[in-house]
Structure 1
Amino acid sequence: MGEKIVLIDGHSILNRAFYGVPDLTNSEGLHTNAVYGFLNIMFKILEEEKPDYLAVAFDLKAPTFRHKMYAEYKGTRKPMPQELHQQVPVIQDMLRAMEIPLLMLEGYEADDLLGTVSKRMEQEGLEVCVVSGDRDLLQLATEHIMIRIPKTKRTGTEIENYHTADVLEKYQVTPLQIIDLKALMGDASDNIPGIPGVGEKTATKIIAAYGSIENAYAHVEEIKPNKAKESLREHYALAQLSKELATINIEAPLEFELEEASMGVLYTEEAFELCKRLEFKNMLSRFECQGPVNRVSENFRKVSDLAEAEKIFETAAKAAHVGFELILAGKRVRGCALCFSEEDIYFIPAEGFISGAYLCGKIDMLLNETAAASTLDLKAQLPFFANHAREKLYDLALAAYLLNPLKDKYTYEDVAKEHMSMMIPSQEELLGRKGFEGAEDEKAVSDCACYIGYVAWAALEPMQKKLLDTGMDTLFREIEMPLVYTLHDMEREGIRVEAAALKQYGEQLIGRIGELETEIYAMAGETFNINSPKQLGVILFEKLKLPYGKKTKTGYSTAADVLEKLADEAPVVSRILEYRQLTKLKSTYADGLANYIAEDGRIHSTFKQTITATGRISSTEPNLQNIPIRMELGRLIRKVFIPKDGYVFVDADYSQIELRVLAAISGDETLIHAYREAQDIHRITASQVFHIPFDEVTDLQRRNAKAVNFGIVYGISSFGLSQDLSITRKEAAQYIEKYFETYPGIKKFLDDTVENAKKEGYVTTLFGRRRPMPELKAGNFMQRSFGERVAMNAPIQGTAADIIKIAMIRVNDRLKAENLKSRLILQVHDELLIEAEESETDEVKRILLEEMQGAAELSVKLEIDMHTGKSWYEAK
């Protein structure tokens, strides 16, 4: 026997894949895990079997019946989950796209068709491989028909193989006797009833001894144990029905031509497009000759010869546009990726006569000579360059962020998929989790670098068009791109930390934490683990009988909002809240910051542009934007941040920038007038909302008005305001109503913003930054309500973020343009911190005032508060 055919039980394998593969959905919201798992199993089988023919069988509709009584039992089968049901036509479309024939026939189940075709093919001299998760099919096993049953385990998919001898060894019965075995023991997964009281062991002994249910019934008095004997005697008709249900029809009237199942090229253009739509990235490498992926990869070249590299750089310098990326392994240059046409895609490794310094110099030359250059992570590469013409450079990760700020990463494969309609393998798929630093497969390193270089080149044009179409081209060129250089300068400068003072601060915290522990234990009447929510819940809600106890599966909730409600109920709670704050201060700052002090005595935080949906900058490793300010002991951490000798800190902070932005973009005349008159905005709001003279507003009324002012910016609800002010929800609703009566322009602006967001699907800042609003179309009411609050806030917070970015760029550029030694070293939300040379302090203040106030022309003036000091604490 020579030729081989593989037959797959479509529904069975799809079902197995659905429950074996974690849920996956593509960007359209389509569930894809079953399709993904099915294809992986199919590819594994094909690689192992290397068949000449392939076909897949499906039930034509929901289960058909071989017997009129079948429905009585099949009717108990659980309905197919909707998430699986929607994937059946998808896998069938994929198989058709791969030109794999589907076996379906009205009135017959898939296993009838598999049985029929497998027996026919065996008679025609073929080796047959049947793939199914249904053990009923073991009855088909012979020397030339192998049944393969995939099993999903933690280690991956394993496949059990059965010829005749394998069935006999595993089950102690022949393949055909599997039918009689099922007739006695039943099969819940296939709704074959069997007879009561007979399990697998007893059924196996009976069939091994008597060969069939008919012969067993003929010797029923000999059957042991008695329970099985009585059951067979009483339920023999049921056993016969079960046997009929378990018997596969091997003579179904199916028209099947072997040549239709001939193995051709599975990886067609149509299948490739469907794979892209389903977002099966790592399967696309299978498309050897089809689709743009491998047409591009055919042009990848690794160049290690110095003379050839020289020629490539010379040619690249004359190109209209170059895509590039320094390939970094930690702080080492491993090579560079370069692309300037569909045919010119290179990886030049730093090896032999080609050094990292040589490559950096050549990229520097390119950035000054070529008309335009684009890359995918410019800031990470800037430390390796000496010179660069800023106006010619494009960071496409930043462009991708602007076009979709809701994602958490902007990798080259994501850019390719979203902006080039191209699916390519990711860095992790090619190199593993360690990336370029740990990869040893040189071809994989070269391929990955070439993909990066190609995407950096090819994505520029479509992304530029999208930026223009969305009105964000100016935002990209005039704010986000220049900001890259400002943030790079800040990261390079860092901020000085006095290590001894940091250690002393930690000891101070330890002392106070110890005091709090003693006080808490005394108030509780026993010692316990304060950090254990479970133990703390028992103390507060069972022993001390405090209110507001929320019981969860793991115990009482001791979240911050619960404890804050309890703070007035018992003194121990305020101590616990303070204890939590101080232990976090110690671990995150007193201990944590010490790990980030570099050899120069400074902390060099990393500033991220692509994290927040509103456009705010974030800080990591460490996060210096979360330095506590609410409690004095938290604020004291700022004392450890000091300027270098001969310098002072100058700290400038926008005053109420978001409220000023709200006044400007809403056009509310009352609020604008209040700011133009330089009045106390919270006191005047209290005066107008509560209808009392300005001079008679109490401090409490001002605080309440302040909460409403800032709450409105964040789309606060009456419930949220009632929580903040410890008032009833009705009172909070009245406050908000009176506020909108006072500032009708704000109410109209917020309402219009939400309505426009529902129509357009996004909101925009004054500078054109878009924030998509998919939450507004959510089926869940809470999500939609959250979306409305975000829609109100995003234009305000986003505009404020744009303004602070403009100010940062201008301040940084001015300091350098005027040849000052002073440098911008930190940005925290609406605050800029300058390390100023003492003799330059007045000039620095002038620059901060001019550039921060002049960052935007609004209908209300931007104001800043400015302070100097010998530590960040003093300057703030």
Structure 2
Amino acid sequence: MNKLVLVDGNSIAYRAFFALPLLNNDKGVYTNAVYGFTMMLLKVIEEEKPTHMLVAFDAGKTTFRHNTYGEYKSGRQKTPHELSEQFPYIRKVLDAFNISRFEVENYEADDIIGTLAKQAEAQEWDVKIYSGDKDLLQLVTNKVTVSLTRKGVTNVETYNVDGIKEKYGITPEQIIDMKGLMGDSSDNIPGVPGIGEKTALKLLKEFASVEKVLDSIDQISGKKMKERLEENKEQALMSKELATIYREVPVDINFDSMNFGEYRQEDVVDLFKELEFNSLLDKVGGEESQPELIEEKLDFEFITEIKAEHFASPAALVIEVLEENYHQADIISVAIVSEAGNYVFSAETALGSEQFIAWANSSEHKKWVFDAKRAIVALGWKGIELNGIEFDYLIASYLLDPSVSSHELADITKRQGKKSVEYDETVYGKGAKKGVPSQDILHQHVVRKASAMYELKTELEQALEKNEQKSLFEDLEMPLSIILGKMETTGIKVDTSFLEQMGQELSEKLQELEAKIHELAGVKFNINSPKQLGEILFEKLNLPVIKKTKTGFSTSADILEKLKDKHEIVELILHYRQLGKLQSTYIEGLLKVVYQDTSKIHTIFNQALTQTGRLSSTEPNLQNIPIRLEEGRKIRKAFVPSEKGMSILAADYSQIELRVLAHIAKDEKLVTAFKEDMDIHTRTAMDVFHVKEDEVTSNMRRSAKAVNFGIVYGISDYGLSQSLDITRKEAAEFIERYFETYPKVKDYMENVIEQARENGFVTTLLHRRRYLADITSRNFNLRSFAERTAMNTPIQGTAADIIKKAMVDMATKLKEEKLESRLLLQVHDELIFEVPDHELEKMKKLVPEVMENALSLDVPLKVEVEYGATWYDAK
């Protein structure tokens, strides 16, 4: 039996967007609607097992219904750009799953669904419709059922003919009569004023249809009711017409094209990775197809006895490490390619050779590597210092185009028109099956890497030169990779006894909180069980229900925040959760990643990941330790100097992105405010609200701060309204006043978008590029996201360049001054050092001096320096 599933794309997307908090991937793409929509799709595919499937979308704002009633849907607010930007990705998801999608000018998705449902029913097919709009209930028949989303996306309520009769007491055909009488505010269908659902249903149970109700006005009791019906006859009939789904749409599509079966798993997996839907990858799991190994073999010598003749300068060097976390990892092979020849060494041979170690140490012998930081750290743990690194293919590829999804060497060679290197995953496998292959395959793989690098350098250098990025590469990113390698190897010491003690204290606090919560609840229950917690809050304590999910009451953090003033138990539960996360994620989590032989944490700094140029931190992420809660801030007390007689010194850039904005936009008011060292949020509040400094309230400053930090990211009225908990109208007015106050900021935003259209990319002050393929797209949603990115990247990217430049300058200064102080961490706009006490006074002056002069701007860069016995004390 054929089974057709039809999905109302716009309706489900809207439901998903407003049901889930705003999410975005590391490229800044909003994904909450896409995620919710995808969850619904996976559920439908699993539960319905359709033979045919189609998702219908509205083609535009205007439909044939506007010819009948010009105000149709006019009351709807403009779609937030955070949602509209996601529709192209929803379509990408459908294409990846090989699910048909369709839209027709002048018609709505409902009309397409109605037409196809009618045609399928005529062929005796079973039809299942998914939507959030109960208008579609009019399509229900013995062969057609409708599932409506309820409280979220995947929680649905399914209706057949009996279900509609049970719920409303009418037939599916009478749904349009009900809408004709009561109207529909969401579609701006007027109906008859004063008639709601209850009255409409009562009338229909007695008279069956709108027409018969209007023909029987004399038989209806109530003078006001009669008058309303008499005065609004035409409006009632028009409302019924507007609510009626048109089922004769000229759909140029056949049922064969809606076949649903196989889809390319690789396409779905790649898209999920791009969108960072990591939790969904298992749902589309299985083994991905692997490409064939390159058949053509490369000649090389496997060296068992190292001689001086094996080394020439320059040389492409491969230090092969299998593990993603390369700290203390085994080196499985070494390859060197130069004019002297193609050589492969076992790790034991290379690392045990004094000649190899001397060559690695030598700054005179120039090395070309892929991921210098990885090579430096891998050898560093073996006690070998790698010097003389002249070129890094990973960094070069990243600078040339940070938007590409992969900078693996195999991808770099492909982009240069060659296929000479296998993907690591092809050679080593992945997951549980990952491992070292046979010696022949391993040796061929590493020598191919080294050979490809030796051949590619000139092409990549020329590309950097063409992009005006030679200085960015040579003077900033290359020296930074070496600095980061040393920082990773150095690590930061952790007082594990303090963490353990703090964990014990948190356990005691959690027990105290648990007891208080149970006392207020009047019963013991599992606070970590959403189901039990929901029953306590909403059934036993009768708190107002804000949201229900498939499994019961929603007890998410945003829901509990709205209930804080309803009962004192809510505040305690929120605190309990915060402390629980601190204990599990940060106390226990950090203790697990302390290296036993160093008593330190050796995080990994990702230098070639973000499109803005910012560094990120993983294994563990030390940039994400929560500091808003005092208990979270206390975790920083565990980070201490590696030796006695040293202090931790923290130097933090103050409002660096706003200072960069002031410089780039050349807005006199912003520039003056920074030059006069005013609190920029107070200054903005004064200018926008037209008040004196002593008249600025905390709410005014909070609003100004939200706009200051949001405006350059293309914040919308919707985004600002969510941030400040105000109406979209108030948010729009605030944004308008901001631009009136700082007109050159608006000019900058318009100009940078225009430049992006002309060039296809935007740049930072140091010529870091970000390509924007969709900046000229005809698709509004793709184009608007690209425009927002164009506004943001020069600001955030330049701020990233500045702190990187400060790191390089500080490393140079420490070496020149022969200081023992060491740079340990970079956390957003902050640098963390460990400083011997006898260098403390010097470093307190030197660090801000170097950081504030990293780049010359129209406004002063400002650095705040603190120090203490721990990282906590340095703030």
Specify the TM-score bucket, using the shorter chain as the normaliser: 0.5 to 0.7
State the one-letter code of the partner of 1:650: L
Query: 1:500-520, CA deviations, whole angstroms, 9 ceiling, x for partnerless residues?
Result: 111111112112222232333
How many residue pairs align between the two structures?
607
Q: Partner of 2:371 in structure 1?
A: 377
User: Which residue of the other structure, out of 572, 575, 600, is the alignment partner of 2:572?
Assistant: 575
Q: Partner of 1:605 in structure 2?
A: 603
Change (3 A) 1:842 1:445: same
1:416–1:424: 8 Å Cα contact kept in structure 2? yes
Structure 2 Cα separation of the partners of residues 775 and 520 of structure 1 = 52
Structure 2 Cα separation of the partners of residues 786 and 679 of structure 1 = 33
Q: CA deviation at 1:774?
A: 4.5
User: Which residue of the other structure, out of 315, 335, 338, is the alignment partner of 2:336?
Assistant: 338
1:853–1:864: 8 Å Cα contact kept in structure 2? yes
State the one-letter code of the partner of 2:372: L
Q: How does 1:79-158 map onto structure 2 within 5 Å?
A: 79-80=256-257
State the one-letter code of the partner of 2:318: E
User: Which residue of the other structure, out of 319, 322, 328, is the alignment partner of 1:326?
Assistant: 319
Q: How does 1:247-396 map onto structure 2 within 5 Å?
A: 282-283=291-292, 285=294, 288=295, 294=296, 297=297, 299-306=298-305, 310-313=308-311, 316-317=312-313, 321-328=314-321, 331-340=329-338, 344-350=341-347, 355-358=351-354, 360-361=356-357, 363-364=359-360, 368-370=364-366, 373-383=367-377, 384=379, 390=388, 393-396=390-393
Q: Partner of 1:455 in structure 2?
A: 452
Q: Partner of 2:683 in structure 1?
A: 684
Q: CA deviation at 1:794?
A: 1.9
1:281–1:423: 8 Å Cα contact kept in structure 2? no
Q: CA deviation at 1:658?
A: 0.9
SS in 1 for 2:872: helix
Change (3 A) 1:749 1:426: same
1:705 and 2:710 correspond: no
State the one-letter code of the partner of 2:342: I
Q: CA deviation at 1:363?
A: 4.5
Q: Partner of 1:195 in structure 2?
A: none
Q: Partner of 2:622 in structure 1?
A: 624
Q: Partner of 1:6 in structure 2?
A: none
User: Which residue of the other structure, out of 469, 476, 480, is the alignment partner of 1:479?
Assistant: 476
Q: How does 1:396-795 map onto structure 2 within 5 Å?
A: 396-407=393-404, 409-422=406-419, 424-433=421-430, 438-540=435-537, 544=541, 546=543, 549-598=546-595, 599-643=597-641, 644-774=643-773, 776=775, 785-795=784-794
Q: CA deviation at 1:683?
A: 1.3
2:362–2:387: 8 Å Cα contact kept in structure 1? no
Structure 1 Cα separation of the partners of residues 753 and 816 of structure 2 = 43
Structure 1 Cα separation of the partners of residues 716 and 414 of structure 2 = 39
2:653–2:830: 8 Å Cα contact kept in structure 1? yes
Change (3 A) 1:602 1:610: same
State the one-letter code of the partner of 2:509: R
Structure 1 Cα separation of the partners of residues 425 and 490 of structure 2 = 32
Change (3 A) 1:497 1:76: closer
Q: CA deviation at 1:558?
A: 4.0
Q: CA deviation at 1:462?
A: 1.9
SS in 2 for 1:625: coil
Q: Partner of 1:836 in structure 2?
A: 835
Structure 2 Cα separation of the partners of residues 154 and 714 of structure 1 = 36
Structure having greater relative contact order (Cα 8 Å, sep ≥ 6):
2
SS in 1 for 2:640: coil
Change (3 A) 1:558 1:482: farther
Change (3 A) 1:770 1:580: farther
Change (3 A) 1:395 1:76: closer
Structure 2 Cα separation of the partners of residues 33 and 727 of structure 1 = 39
SS in 1 for 2:364: helix
Q: CA deviation at 1:753?
A: 2.4
Structure 1 Cα separation of the partners of residues 453 and 361 of structure 2 = 18
Q: CA deviation at 1:708?
A: 1.9
2:545–2:553: 8 Å Cα contact kept in structure 1? no
TM-score by length of 1: 0.63
State the one-letter code of the partner of 1:629: I
SS in 1 for 2:819: coil
Structure 1 Cα separation of the partners of residues 842 and 433 of structure 2 = 45
Query: 1:561-584, CA deviations, whole angstroms, 9 ceiling, x for partnerless residues?
Result: 343344344433333332222111
Query: 1:438-495, CA deviations, whole angstroms, 9 ceiling, x for partnerless residues?
Result: 4141111111111211222222222222222223222111111110121122122222
Q: State the identity as a percent.
A: 41
Change (3 A) 1:615 1:732: same
Structure 2 Cα separation of the partners of residues 515 and 86 of structure 1 = 53
Structure 1 Cα separation of the partners of residues 566 and 386 of structure 2 = 62
SS in 1 for 2:419: coil
Q: CA deviation at 1:85?
A: 13
Q: CA deviation at 1:671?
A: 0.5
1:625–1:829: 8 Å Cα contact kept in structure 2? yes
Structure 1 Cα separation of the partners of residues 522 and 868 of structure 2 = 46
2:372–2:482: 8 Å Cα contact kept in structure 1? no
Q: How does 1:7-46 map onto structure 2 within 5 Å?
A: none
SS in 1 for 2:291: helix
1:593–1:622: 8 Å Cα contact kept in structure 2? yes
SS in 1 for 2:620: coil
Structure 2 Cα separation of the partners of residues 420 and 29 of structure 1 = 29
Change (3 A) 1:697 1:33: closer
Q: CA deviation at 1:661?
A: 0.7
Structure 2 Cα separation of the partners of residues 809 and 76 of structure 1 = 61
State the one-letter code of the partner of 2:586: Y
Structure 1 Cα separation of the partners of residues 775 and 683 of structure 2 = 34
Structure 2 Cα separation of the partners of residues 530 and 642 of structure 1 = 35
2:396–2:464: 8 Å Cα contact kept in structure 1? yes
2:428–2:434: 8 Å Cα contact kept in structure 1? no
Q: CA deviation at 1:718?
A: 1.8
Pair member with larger Rg: 1
Change (3 A) 1:790 1:583: farther
Structure 2 unaligned segments of length 5 or more: list them: 1-50, 52-88, 99-122, 126-251, 265-283, 323-327
State the one-letter code of the partner of 2:764: T
Structure 1 Cα separation of the partners of residues 676 and 727 of structure 2 = 34
State the one-letter code of the partner of 2:291: N
TM-score by length of 2: 0.63
SS in 1 for 2:628: coil
Structure 2 Cα separation of the partners of residues 773 and 547 of structure 1 = 46
Query: 1:805-849, CA deviations, whole angstroms, 9 ceiling, x for partnerless residues?
Result: 110111122112211111111111111111111011111122212
RMSD: 3.7
Query: 1:253-300, CA deviations, whole angstroms, 9 ceiling, x for partnerless residues?
Result: xxxxxxxxxxxxxxxxxxxxxxxxxxx971463xx5xxxxx2xx3x33
2:648–2:868: 8 Å Cα contact kept in structure 1? yes
1:873 and 2:867 correspond: no
